[in-house]
Amino acid sequence: QVQLVESGGGLVQAGGSLTLSCAASGDIFRINDMGWYRQTPGNRRELVAAITNAGSTNYADSVKAQFTISRDNAKKTVYLQMNSLKPGDTAVYYCYAQITRFIEHYVTNPYWGQGTQVTVSS
């Protein structure tokens, strides 16, 4: 079993900052890409930021220079530092990880966290 547990969401005023964390646990051989998506009611889940296990990053244009993704491979944890938050950043944020497990052979699948609400008030 693999589990992704997010933390750090909450209510913040516009211009404020939050840091989201997502820790993976379970029977894991290797964690490949990790990332954060967000979703608002009635809309599709959209990529916010992603990071490879070598540290290469990719950001949605809307959050470049505002958000920073990082990871600690030893802790199996990915972080999202969010600065200068705007009401438009209000969403449920989901952690994502592509994880390889060894179950008689190597199997790689995507896993998702349960989501954490970020609300930015004006």
Averaged over successive runs of 10 residues, the pLDDT of the chain (122 residues) comes to 96 98 97 98 97 96 96 97 97 98 94 97 95
What is the per-residue pLDDT for 44? 96
What is the per-residue pLDDT for 43? 96
Phi, psi of 8 (to 5 degrees): 105, -5
* Contact present, 61 and 96 (Cβ < 8 Å): no
Phi, psi of 6 (to 5 degrees): -95, 155
Phi, psi of 58 (to 5 degrees): -145, 135
What is the per-residue pLDDT for 105? 94
Distance from C-alpha of 65 to C-alpha of 83, rounded to nearest angstrom: 9
Please state, as a whole number, how many other Cβ atoms lie within 10 Å of the Cβ of residue 46: 12
